[in-house]
Amino acid sequence: MVYRTRYITQGIAKVLIWLAALSTIGVMVLILFQVLAEGLPVLHLRFFLDSPKSMGREGGILPTIVGTFALTVVAILFATPLGVGTAIFLREYTRESRISRLIRFGTDCLAGVPSIIFGLFGFVFFVIYLNMGWSILSGGLTLAAMILPTIISTAEEAIKAIPPSYREVSYSLGGTRWQTVMHTILPSALPGICTGILLSVGRSIGETAAVILTAGSSLLMPTSLFSPIRTMSVHFYILAREGISLKMAYGTGAALILLVLLVNTVANWLLNRYIRRRA
Amino acid sequence: MLLLWLLPLLLAIPLVSGCQRERAGITVAGSTSVEPFAELLAEEYMSRHPHSHIYVQGGGSTAGIEAVRTRAANIGTSSRSLLPDEKDLYAITIAKDAIAIIVNPKNPIRDLSLDHVRQVFSGKIKDWGELGDPPHPIVLVSREEGSGTRESFQKFVMGQEEISLESLVQDSNGAIRQVVSNDPYAIGYISLGLVNEQVKALKISGVEPTVTNIERNKYTLVRPFLFVFNGEPEGEAKSFLEFVLSPAAQALLSKEGLVSVLKPSGR
Amino acid sequence: MEIREKVIEKLLLLIAFSSIAVLALITFFIFEQGLPLIWKIGPKAFILGQKWIPSKGLFGIFPMIVSSFLVTIGALALGIPLGLACTIFLCEWSPPAVGTVLRPAIQLLAAIPSVIYGFWGLIVLVPLVRNYLGGPGLSILSGSVILGFMILPTIISISEDSLKALPPTYKAGALAMGATHWQTIWRVMIPAARSGIVASIILGMGRAIGETMAMIMILGNAVKMPSSFLDSARTLTTNIGIEMGYASGAHREALFATGVILFVIIMLLNSLAIFLSRRRSS
């Protein structure tokens, strides 16, 4: 009798788990499918190349694409040297100590700060205090702060994965620490670092709260780093809420999803290739 | 290689702190109610003057007025009249906008007295049954605190009473319209210019919110859309203002549902 | 050469402090903007006050704290069982081919912007709740469901790592003693991976409390204290998000003050998660 109950329990559990897993995947796919199904038909060349007309009811989303791109580039430009530098320092220049624990704690904490707080910070620090106004620069720097922890941890993982023998060979040939880093460590860690960058790009593209508060929401094509811009996700948010044009909203949403999908797929591919190389 | 990357960082910091925003063109900031219309006007203006740049921003009526005072913006937009301590600034009405009380098209109600509207929004009347509809709790939708539209609504309709804390809050007129168009039991207020076939605008004490009734001062829930300047308008700002007050621009605004300030009003 | 090395080392030390520096800056500015107001009205009045009416100078955020809490609990109520189920499914019960497709799929889902989730919630979930369960549809329930789905990838991926990190002897030993697969999972492996799973839940919780945009779209943002899951509500994050665009003066300071409280709560949660995960790996 006791034997039977165990197997009945297992049977029930198995069914429930399969159901749960499938329904989870199902709902997620549904969400994507809805936006893509309604939005893909809207995507044609003009959509990507035109500017919005008549309060966003017609036209395309070109300025938002440019804005998203500009913001991401600025963020990566500032976050990567800082992030990779931190990772190099942690892995190559110190051992576990009070300093390294403090740095890691700071990084982990930063990773947990919600985006609205970054938005508030970016607003009061970049927009007001440093007088940069609502601009690509303000938004990009705020985003840089947000993606810094991701870059640090992926760079660290990448550097950690390099076999000690690489370093030993370099040192034995008379290389200094910096030379070792520049000529051996970094090139080998590059795929991993790039993965981290790509993951951060994916995150930046979807970021909305912090961007609205720091980069503004102007629909004009930006003319300088100090121009305000509207990113694709902000545009999507505004369109969705205002009900100005559901068609355009779906289109922007579909474009957004495709972009994020693309970036993440490349990142995953890179990750797999990199892992396979190591193993 | 890394040093090459450190360079922009080191350069950026002194360059950027204390840097004034070098931007050709003018900034128009303020009320989110005015914003879409300002954008439309800017679009039209820039197509006629290809080398000008007009940046339109939201932020709210109060923020816009403040921005003009600190010269962060060239033109401030406001959907409410200036307060006494703002009277040192120069304001021009560029259009008039009415506040419409809207319900879902499926709602049988067509007319409410101002008194009833106040009681509904203050929470004293909680059920559509009390107003002659089939009974169902009323869902209130309002703008957020700080919004010029909310302040106008407060001034014209609520008077001394508070909008009920139970009311849903949305941060734009368009969003309110969305909610009301989807919920058969909702009631809200938006700019008349934004009313479309998705919602129904109520008559207030028998007066329908139309441009004619506004011009005849019969529909009184009307607020001015202002352009606010720090001193006399000059340069590009003046040029833009002149365009906005021109018949062509006013016709554009009328088409979008605002009331032109030009007399006689052509439609 | 030596000098160059020394300079580079010092430079890297400086760079390494960037994350601390940013954290410090954020803390400083948020507190600098928000604390004065909390002091002025008094922490008790601010945190326990039940009325948020900026036009009258009333800034009580207790309803927001309660709402944040309720929405998060709701999200966890959905996210933990589904997350654990999917984790177990991935680790133990799915054919390997399914796993290689599913894992990147889950990562992809984690990358979808929250506004998309919010939009779907608005178009599909809110009308469902309104028509079948009552209330305005824009409610804590809708918010919890969407949030639950948003934190699933976090819970799944970290829990999966924890399960995979278990020594194989745990599973082998239990099976060798005659336990069924399910008994092994439920009574041996999950409890063994407990601290990692708990860490993933806390991280998911942190993400849930910090979510803004999707919540503005779905929660309805009413200012009162919620009395049921079908009520509309406003969390700490949406309070900031929805009024920040317009606020000035004391109102703006109050929003920063809301940010201070939010920041403190999140920092406490995150420290807990970090502490737990450090303990696990040591």
pLDDT in tens, A54-93: 665 667 788 888 999 999 999 999 999 999 999 988 888 7
Sequence ranges of the domains in chain C? 20-281
Nearest CB neighbour to A116, from listed C105, C107, C237: C237
Nearest CB neighbour to B2, from listed A54, A81, A243: A81
Nearest CB neighbour to A224, from listed B23, B54, B56: B23
Q: How confident is the model at residue B232 (pLDDT cuts 50, 70, 90)?
A: confident
ipTM, two decimals: 0.88
The pLDDT tens digits along chain A (279 residues) read: 566 787 888 888 888 888 888 888 888 888 888 888 888 887 777 777 777 666 656 677 888 889 999 999 999 999 999 999 999 888 887 777 888 888 988 898 898 899 999 999 998 899 888 888 788 999 999 999 999 999 998 898 888 888 888 888 888 888 888 888 888 888 888 888 888 898 889 888 989 999 988 887 777 788 888 888 889 999 898 888 877 778 888 888 898 999 988 888 888 787 777 665 554
pLDDT at A116: 93
Give CA–CA dist A43/A52, Å, rounded: 14
Q: What residues of chain C lie within 8 A of the CB of A9, using their CB?
A: 180, 182-183
Token code pair at residue C104: 């990147």
SS3 of residue B238 by DSSP: helix
Q: Is the pLDDT of residue B1 over 50?
A: no
CA B233 to chain centre: 22
Q: Does B171 sit within 8 Å of C127, measured CB to CB?
A: no
Alpha-helical segments (H) within chain C: 2-16, 18-41, 43-48, 62-88, 96-111, 114-120, 126-132, 140-164, 168-176, 181-183, 190-192, 194-210, 213-219, 236-243, 250-281
Helices A62-88 and C18-41: crossing angle in degrees, nearest 10, is: 110
Q: Does A227 sit within 8 Å of B170, measured CB to CB?
A: no
Superfamily, domain C20-281: MetI-like (1.10.3720.10)
Residues of chain B with a CB closer than 8 angstroms to some CB in chain A: 1-2, 5-6, 8-9, 12, 16-24, 36, 39-40, 43, 53-58, 72, 170-172, 174-175, 177-178, 181, 198
Q: What residues of chain A lie within 8 A of the CB of C257, using their CB?
A: none
Residue from B9, B21, B141, B173 whose CB has the most chain A CBs within 10 Å, to mutate: B21
Q: Does A148 sit within 8 Å of C182, measured CB to CB?
A: no
Give CA–CA dist B103/B100, Å, rounded: 10
Give CA–CA dist A162/A92, Å, rounded: 11
Token code pair at residue C172: 């082998």
Q: What residues of chain A lie within 8 A of the CB of B40, using their CB?
A: 54-55
Give me the amino acid identity at B110: R
- Strand-pair category, C52-53 with C58-59: antiparallel
pTM: 0.87
Q: Measure B124 CA to nearest chain A CA, in Å.
A: 29
| A208-222 pLDDT tens trace | 999 988 887 777 788
Q: Does A86 sit within 8 Å of C212, measured CB to CB?
A: no
How many Cα atoms within 13 Å fall on the side-chain side of residue C273?
A: 23
* Residue C221 zone, left/alpha/beta (φ > 0; ψ -120 to 50; rest): left
Give me the amino acid identity at B93: T
Give CA–CA dist A211/A204, Å, rounded: 9
List the chains bordering chain A where 3 or more Cβ pairs fall under 8 Å: B, C
Q: How confident is the model at residue B18 (pLDDT cuts 50, 70, 90)?
A: very low
Is the Cβ of A78 closer than 8 Å to some Cβ of chain B?
yes
Give CA–CA dist C238/C255, Å, rounded: 10
Residue in the structure block whose two tokens are 């720090």: B230
Nearest CB neighbour to A131, from listed B12, B19, B174: B19
- DSSP codes, C101-156: HHHHHHHHHHHS-HHHHHHHIIIIIHHHHHHHT-S-S-SHHHHHHHHHHHHHHHHH
CA B142 to chain centre: 14
